[in-house]
Amino acid sequence: MWTILRAALTCTLMVTFGLSAPAAAAPGEPPSADRMRKALLTVDDLPDGMTAGETGTGRGDNDFSAWNRCKGPQPPAGNDVEYVHAAFSAGGPEAASVQTMIGATGSETGRAVVASRADELQRCPAGMTRWPLPRLGDASVTVVLGSASAKDLFGSGEDRTKGVRAAVIAQGDVLAYIVGSELGEAEFTRILQAGARRLARHFPASGDRMAVFGGERSEAGLAEPVHQ
């Protein structure tokens, strides 16, 4: 996610344009790219006016390894992870946009990445702050661009609630990143919920995988924010 956020904040993130029950993978077999594509967001999940085109695939993105930048330089990890990605935009450099990426990390690595990102937010946030939301997927952490950085980027007269927000979601055998910019909090929350539903449909998890960072599970199986 940090790779995506850095790119989004410097306007270098390139926008690429692009349900039946999921088929179970054989034991020990990583999720296929085709299966992961089915779990990506589509324009039907997004606000009116957003467009999409081709999705892409890749391998070896370090966002899918559980390195922790609080502990030193990023190691050369995650090179064998296959991932799919898609991006959507309302048009124009300052218009609303959404980027999503899903990688075949396996359940243990996926949850470890979420834990690392949560630890980074607490110990070396670098302008990011936790955005308290109910749990998404098996484990999740959600962030928003810090107010000081948002002021520098968007100007004091702008609505900084429409800065950059992101979620890291571990679900079943995959890890997903969903990043939105220039979207209101309620709008992006609905997008995240749609993304989490897609992930759960195609990558169901066993009950013993549930984990929450900064919240606790409710009776409905979601997590409610912890108020301290």
Which of 135, 150, 225, 137 lies closest to 181 in space, CA to CA? 150
Residue where the block lists tokens 């995988």:
209
* 3-state DSSP assignment of residue 37: helix
Token pair of 9 as six digits: 């904040």
pLDDT for position 75: 60
Q: Residue 34: what pLDDT?
A: 95
C-alpha closest to that of 176 among 126, 104, 128, 73: 104
The predicted structure's pLDDT at residue 70: 80
Instruction: Answer whether residue 18 is part of any domain.
Output: no
Residue 191 lies in a domain: yes
User: Mean pLDDT of residues grouped by 10 in the chain (228 residues)?
Assistant: 47 26 50 95 94 83 78 64 93 85 93 91 82 93 67 43 85 95 92 97 68 36 31
Q: Is residue 17 part of a domain?
A: no
Residue 80 to residue 75: CA distance in whole angstroms: 14
At residue 48's C-alpha, the angle toward residues 47 and 51, to 5°, is 95
- Identify the CATH number of the domain in which residue 219 sits: 3.40.1000.70
Domains of the chain: total: 1
Does residue 24 fall inside a structural domain? no
112/169 Cα distance (integer angstroms) = 11
Is residue 85 domain-resident? yes
Structure tokens at 82: 């296959």
pLDDT number for residue 111: 94
Q: Identify the pLDDT of residue 227.
A: 27
CA distance 228 to 225: 9
In a domain, 115, yes or no: yes
Pick left, alpha or beta for residue 72 (phi over 0 → left; psi -120 to 50 → alpha; otherwise beta).
Answer: left
Do 168 and 177 touch, CB atoms closer than 8 A?
A: yes
Q: What is the pLDDT of residue 28?
A: 55
Q: State whether the Cα torsion 90-92-97-103 is positive or negative.
A: positive
Q: How far apart are CA 138 and CA 217, in angstroms?
A: 11
| Residue 177: Cβ within 10 Å count | 26
* 57 inside domain: yes
| Domain range enclosing 197 | 2-10+30-225
